Structure 1
Amino acid sequence: MDNQPQTVIVTDISLLSRGDDIEAHRGSICYRGRVKDTAPGLGMIWIREHGHGGRRALPADDYSIRRAAAPS
């Protein structure tokens, strides 16, 4: 049994809401965190990273954004 959380690729960041858990991938770089704010017009997402709680701004055009799927 695979215990890894399932993710869904997000192509429109206006569909993200505060509190959504996401992963942002770019090559070997991966940030995981909870959405704190979005600015779809600017193509920006701000997250609070899991683990150390740091705040990070992510330009959505530079990353593949994936939202953790709701448990079934």
Structure 2
Amino acid sequence: MLKEVPVRTTRIRTLDQLHRGDHIEARLSVGPAYDDVVIRRGSVQETAPGIGVVWIMDQLSGLRKAINTDECTLWRVA
């Protein structure tokens, strides 16, 4: 029987903490009574700290996606 390993996440406060290849999740807050919802998951391709945007290679679609940090929170997945 396989043992399920829990996923450890760490909140990213600034885009300076990210590097190309880091695996991250973008989460959207849906309300005070609910947990954040994961809207994107993938590996970092490029960051633009000046405008608050990070581009990832989306794990689900395989496409490059832009994430605006004003709209969601970022979490490093380990």
Coarse TM-score class (shorter-chain normalised)? 0.7 to 0.9
* Match for residue 59 of structure 1 among 59, 62, 68: 68
**Shift of residue 29, structure 1, vs aligned partner:** 4.6
Could you list the per-position Cα deviations for residues 7-64 of structure 1 after superposition, in whole angstroms to 9, with x for gaps in the alignment?
1000011110000000000133521000000000110000001133111101112111
RMSD over equivalenced CA pairs, Å: 1.5
Q: Any gaps of 5 or more consecutive residues in structure 2?
A: 30-36
* Equivalent in the alignment of 1:33: 42
Q: 6, 16, 19: which is aligned to 1:17? A: 19
Q: Secondary structure of 1:61's partner?
A: coil
TM-score scaled to structure 1, two decimals?
0.84
TM-score where L is the length of structure 2: 0.78
Distance 1:2 1:39 in 2: 35
Structure 1 gaps, min length 5: none
| CA shift for structure 1 position 2 | 5.2
Please identify runs of 4+ aligned residues in structure 1 that moved more than 4 A.
Answer: none
Q: Which has the larger radius of gyration?
A: 2
Q: Look up the equivalent residue of 2:26 and give its one-letter code.
A: A
The 8 Å contact of residues 13 and 74 in structure 2, kept in 1 or not, is answered as yes
Identity %: 35
Aligned residues: 69
CA contact (8 A) 2:15 2:52 kept: yes
